[in-house]
Amino acid sequence: MDFRYTPEQTELKARAAAYTRLLMRYEEQSEEAGGPLPADTVRELTRAAIDAGVYAINMPAEWGGAGLSLLDQVIVEEEFGKVTNCLWDIPWRPANVLAYGTEAQREKYLLPVIRGERFDAFAVTEPGAGSDPGSGTSTATRTAGGWLLNGEKWFVTCGDIADFLLVQADAGPGRAATLFLVDKQAPGVEMTRVPRFMHSAVNGHPEFRFTDVFVPDEDVLGGVGNGYELTKEWFTDERLMIAARTVGAAERALELARDWAVERRQFGSRIADFQLIQGMLADSAVDIAVNRAYTHQIAWEADQPRTDRKTLHAKASTAKLAASEAAGRVVDRCLQIFGGRGYDRSYPVERMYRELRVDRIWEGTSEIQRLIIANELIKRGTGALALPR
């Protein structure tokens, strides 16, 4: 197994890094605005991402996407993770399960997203159904030519800018978990609130209410009853990308803290010469190195033929759990190294400190990841998490 980057991957990483540096120019503007950037700016940055080949990186080239493998996507997302204010949302990656749509669904929904003309958002969480998506109460009732959707969804990331939503609801009397493609402007769709969270993200995480929203049969994604499996596949990819981004964020935090420790002088010496500071720098380097290696490994495994998807689900949970918690430790140390300046919102480490906290919550809390991993161990033994043969 050779994890050295190919020349193509080295060039891809350079392109992603260059685009990330472009996004960094807008960090303070986004922070001062409380998150959003002007629409014209977002359009310019979107076009720049498309031109750089780092937009819709998870979609096939023949459809207009970048056509990257999961390992290549991890390389890109690791660079994106270095930017604050969730500006990595601008180089959009459509929900991977949109690729399972019919040709008509692809033309109507997916291809415009790949071209940067429309946006999608995934709606799963409910007021009473967070870590347990199976306890959701959103329903779809059969009617002539389609379904009537009723329910409520919370924390719909990028729902404020989305043109349509992928809504998970229980269909019919058998309560079959199903994904519905719902136009946000459809009658009965109401965006009720856009909460203010700890981080100042470029896009929001609004709440929605659905009241007798008509969804035609042709807008059921993947067939009735396949919603849970599709959502699980979406979670697998998203958790792997969270692992990659948190590794990137931790790396930037460490780089900033290292440079500060070398320059900052107290008691007549560089603070980098103090062993307590050295310990924090070393522990941070270990956290980053180990989690980068594991995240790359799992992405590589996912790209191999005959990879067991159930085991991959648990391995992606392992990567997300380990990397997100390690990044939290790293940025906490780095903020401490900066001292009072680290608590200043104009410093990136402060923003990262707030932003990285949610990575232990969204797309499944750390506790849920532990349950997924433990369940795989109980069912299949420790060999289920070993390297593939």
Quick check: is 363 catalytic? yes
**Any idea which residue has 């067991």 for tokens?**
308
Please give the Cα distance from 169 to 337 (Å, whole number). 47
Concatenated DSSP letters of 321-357? HHHHHHHHHHHHHHHHHHGGGGGSTTSHHHHHHHHGG
Strand pairing class (265-266; 176-183): unpaired
Please give the Cα distance from 311 to 299 (Å, whole number). 13
> Between the CA of residue 334 and those of 27, 245, 261, 275, 355, what are the distances in Å?
19, 17, 10, 15, 14
CA nearest neighbour of 208 among 231, 185, 227: 185
Q: What is the token pair recorded at 37?
A: 């950037």
Q: Cα 313 to the chain's mean position, in Å?
A: 15
β strands within the chain, DSSP E? 120-123, 139-143, 146-153, 164-171, 176-183, 189-193, 207-216, 220-221, 265-266, 269-270
Strand partners, 207: 193
Strand partners, 193: 207
Please give the Cα distance from 18 to 333 (Å, whole number). 27
Distance linking the first and last C-alpha atoms of the chain: 11
Instruction: Find all residues with CB under 8 Å of 103, minimum gap 6, and list them.
Output: none
> Between the CA of residue 304 and those of 58, 131, 142, 298, what are the distances in Å?
16, 30, 40, 10
Strand pairing class (164-171; 139-143): parallel
Q: What is the token pair recorded at 202?
A: 């470029």
Catalytic residue among 8, 363, 367, 376: 363
**Positions marked active-site:** 363
